[in-house]
Chains A and B, each alone.
Chain A
């Protein structure tokens, strides 16, 4: 099954598959990086929002 998907990636339309994978990975790694860099006070502040009223 996996072989079939990999084989599909080699065809004419491979561009779409590779493109979509690269776009997503870039996006994901970007979000992950920023989330890890998040300031602790900011997180503490945000998670309290529902309790402010």
Chain B
């Protein structure tokens, strides 16, 4: 066969590395600011754009999609070319992918602080950006599959399977979780409501962790770890088993984010069972990674790249053991809504994604610059700073999470809650939050050490933008013989068949969970007293979404005595049928708000929103003075009512025409009441709408009880 000469594209790899590092610093810095705000609220500079509810999604999006995302593209594009013995399919697509992705990140960095959000966690970006993500993601997929199709290597190595599964599954997740009805260019409502919306969101949320933060990194582990230690993966057989069982199982586990919620029991049980089974493939992968280092641990002592990989894979093992543990209902009862989840997530994000990324960059940059790493000792310093940073971060958060969970549940012998004031449980854990921000600072300072080291490395070499390579072309009419007829080898030769089988494997789990939820009516029992929101409440709800209240306040009372005692009647699925989107939340930095309606007078909310400390001394909630100053935009009220009707909310025909009058009537009543109490406010202010929404929360059930008496 004739040997062909070609070049590997290293420039695109270098570009993605630079983007990852820059956005990594930004994302971690925003995270640090958010962490400091939790004990020093004034650190938001009293600006709406930097308040916690708006920058928390900025932090998560920046770290997941900008830092990790760009690192994935760098790692995949480097290894894919070598494993396929081919240059990337199209330079144009590579550049479109790179710049498109950076523009999306820029759009996120602008829109999230402006409060443009769908409120779906890790999917906060509004519909125009969702479409852009889909287009750029497809460009990435076409570039990857195109490279695979024109490869000069007959069989696809295990790393490529993980890359393909990542592309396919993220595309499916992103599209299904972005079904939304636009109201304007910057605002949309989710297609599904309440329980169904929650299930779709956490099917997405869980699998975004699985297929964005896990599978691409496993693929990269299978390539870079053997390369760095210069020996093959421990067991290739195990990798086949690892791949198929992992992608098959992961999809089913989403409902473990909704245990003890209003999700039907059968769906919760599926989530639990499959989460526990998930230990097996996850640990299969971890063991495969760590045992690759067997007999080479002396190299780990000398080589910082291997240090990062060894601790990274260990962190993966810990996080994937803890995940199933957290999905046991009795553990989840304590851990859910607390800092424990934050600790768990950061063991994965800092330990697995962070350290694997750093290790990979320390290995890649010298390679593409044709030189050696500038300083091993600086890399070692970075390793120790970041490992210490992770410990300083995770340990206080575990401590804090467990303490919160126990305090929320503790009763006095007399049968009353020991901590009836929620605020007390928040203030108790502040020392742990201070420690956590020290851990975060350590981790971030390590990144600066890396930047210096990598820049120096680049300066001592020169970018090999087009790295020459040669390989024989593949025979056109290949007939498999002998060992090559082995079943998996057939898949490895046929990328399209492989992709099809992968799609089937990932769709089964999603379909079994989601289709019954969307089609069987008995899964969500309707409650006759639950009525659609009034136009003013609907506008207030959108302000609640804009300010990101859901980042600290849940709207889901679990059926525990400790919760019904504190918050009132536990939540029913039927109460959420008009909630597009659902706002259950996943973290309680403040108390649950499911039944806050009618608990306090309007004047309490008025004062509390302008200065939380005036009503709850010591509160760490940010102040929202701008709500009392901003005029409510009512120009879109009719559009919102019409959109809701399209989505199935039973507003009467023609209601959109009188909606604004109805809104003003309700607003005037609230404003008059406040003025009478000595808090003059105009009826057209945003705060009035927000108060109307808060006062409505959870009252439909209370009303039905009062009526039946």
Task: Find chain A residues with CB under 8 A from B159 CB.
Answer: 50
A47 and B481 CA atoms in complex are apart in Å by 19
Whether A34 contacts B488 in the complex (CB less than 8 A), given A16-B512, A53-B85, comes out as: yes
State whether A41 touches B483 (Cβ < 8 A). Answer: yes
Q: B361 in the interface, Cβ–Cβ < 8 Å?
A: no
Q: How far is the CA of A9 from the CA of B330 in the complex (A)?
A: 19
User: Is B185 part of the binding interface, using a Cβ–Cβ cutoff of 8 Å?
Assistant: no
B-chain residues with CB within 8 Å of residue A48 when the two chains form the complex = 232
Question: A34 to B155, alpha carbons, bound, how many Å?
Answer: 18
The reply to whether A24 and B153 contact each other, CB–CB distance below 8 Å, is no
For A11, what are the chain B residues with a Cβ–Cβ distance below 8 Å? 265-266
1/0 contact trace for A5-32 toward B, CB 8 Å?
1001101011011011101100110011
- CB of A20 within 8 A of CB of B223, answer no
In the assembly, what is the distance between CA of A41 and CA of B241, in Å?
A: 18
A46–B469 Cα gap in the complex (Å)? 20
Query: If the complex has contacts A20-B509, A39-B486, A51-B232, are A28 and B155 also in contact, measured as CB distance less than 8 A?
Result: no
CA A50 – CA B227 in complex, angstroms?
A: 7
Q: Which chain A residues lie closer than 8 Å to B153 at the CB level?
A: 49, 52
Given the complex, which residues of B lie within 8 Å of A35, measured CB to CB?
237, 240-241, 488
Q: Given known contacts A1-B329, A8-B265, is B512 in contact with A20 (CB within 8 Å)?
A: yes
Nearest CB of chain B from residue A38's CB, rounded to whole Å = 6
Contact in complex: B82, A43 (CB < 8 Å): no
0/1 string, B477-516, CB within 8 A of A gives 1: 0000011101111001000000000000100110011001
Chain A residues in 8 Å Cβ range of B192: none
A residues within 8 A CB of B272?
A: 5
Q: Across the interface, do B85 and A17 meet the contact criterion of CB distance under 8 Å? A: no
In the complex, what's the smallest C-beta–C-beta distance from B509 to chain A, in angstroms?
7
Pair B487/A8 contact, Cβ less than 8 Å = no
Residues of A within 8 A of B233 (CB): 47
Known: A24-B277, A42-B483. A53 touches B469 (CB 8 A): yes
Distance in angstroms between the alpha carbons of A3 and B177 in the assembled complex? 34
A34 surroundings in chain B (CB, below 8 A): 487-488
Is A50 a contact partner of B269 (Cβ separation < 8 A)?
no
Q: What is the chain B residue whose CB lies nearest that of A27?
A: B248
Knowing A31-B245, A49-B83, the reply to whether A21 touches B273 (Cβ < 8 A) is yes
Report Cα–Cα, A21/B227, bound state, in Å.
38
**Is B266's CB under 8 angstroms from A49's CB?**
no
> Contact: A43 with B236, CB < 8 Å?
yes
CB nearest to B155 among chain A residues: A46
**Complex interface: chain B residues within 8 A of A51 (CB):** 226-227, 230, 232
Q: Tell me the count of chain B residues lying within 8 A, CB to CB, of chain A.
A: 53
Distance in angstroms between the alpha carbons of A41 and B155 in the assembled complex: 14
Interface residues of B in 318-361 (CB under 8 A from A): 328-330
Q: With A8-B265, A35-B240, A39-B483 in contact, do A46 and B157 touch (Cβ < 8 Å)?
A: yes
Residues of A within 8 A of B232 (CB): 47-48, 50-51
Which residues on A sit within 8 Å (CB–CB) of B79? 50
In the bound complex, residues from chain A placing their C-beta under 8 Å from that of B252 are: 20
Which of B82, B266, B508 is the one whose CB lies under 8 Å from A53? B82
Chain B, range 74-114, C-beta contacts under 8 Å to A: 79, 82-83, 85
Q: Is B274 an interface residue (CB 8 A)?
A: yes
For B559, the chain A residues whose CB sits under 8 A away are none
For A49, what are the chain B residues with a Cβ–Cβ distance below 8 Å? 83, 153, 155, 157
Q: Does B625 contact A (CB under 8 A)?
A: no
- Whole-angstrom CA separation of A10 from B471 in the bound complex: 59
Residues of B contacting A27 in the complex (Cβ-Cβ under 8 angstroms) = 244-245, 248, 505
| Set of chain A residues within 8 Å of B236, measured between Cβ atoms | 43, 46-47
Task: Tell whether, in the assembled complex, residue B484 and residue A42 are in contact, meaning their CB atoms are under 8 Å apart.
Answer: yes
A16: chain B residues within 8 A (beta carbon): 266, 270, 512-513, 516
With the chains together, A40 CA to B68 CA distance in Å? 36
Determine the distance from Cα of A4 to Cα of B266 in the docked complex, in whole angstroms. Answer: 11
CB distance from B358 to the nearest CB of A (A): 20
| Chain A residue at minimum C-beta to C-beta distance from B516 | A16
Cβ–Cβ < 8 Å partners of A9 in chain B: 269
The residue that A17 contacts in the complex, of B155, B157, B266, B486, with Cβ under 8 A, is B266
Q: Which of B191-247 contact A (CB under 8 A)?
A: 222-223, 226-227, 230, 232-233, 236-237, 240-241, 244-245
Q: What is the CB-to-nearest-CB distance from B574 to chain A, in angstroms, rounded to a whole number?
A: 18
List residues of chain A with CB within 8 A of the CB of B155: 45-46, 49
14 contacts between A and B (CB under 8 A): A5-B272, A13-B265, A20-B274, A20-B509, A20-B512, A34-B487, A35-B237, A35-B488, A36-B237, A41-B483, A46-B236, A47-B233, A49-B153, A50-B232
Closest 8 CB pairs of A and B: A13-B266, A47-B232, A49-B157, A39-B483, A47-B236, A8-B269, A42-B483, A43-B236
In addition to A13-B265, A47-B233, 13 A-B residue pairs with Cβ atoms within 8 Å of each other are A5-B269, A11-B265, A20-B509, A27-B248, A31-B245, A38-B488, A39-B486, A45-B155, A47-B226, A47-B236, A49-B155, A50-B223, A50-B227
What is the interface of chain B, defined by CB distance below 8 A to chain A? Answer: 79, 82-83, 85, 153, 155, 157-159, 222-223, 226-227, 230, 232-233, 236-237, 240-241, 244-245, 248-249, 252, 264-266, 269-270, 272-274, 277, 328-330, 469, 471, 482-484, 486-489, 492, 505, 508-509, 512-513, 516
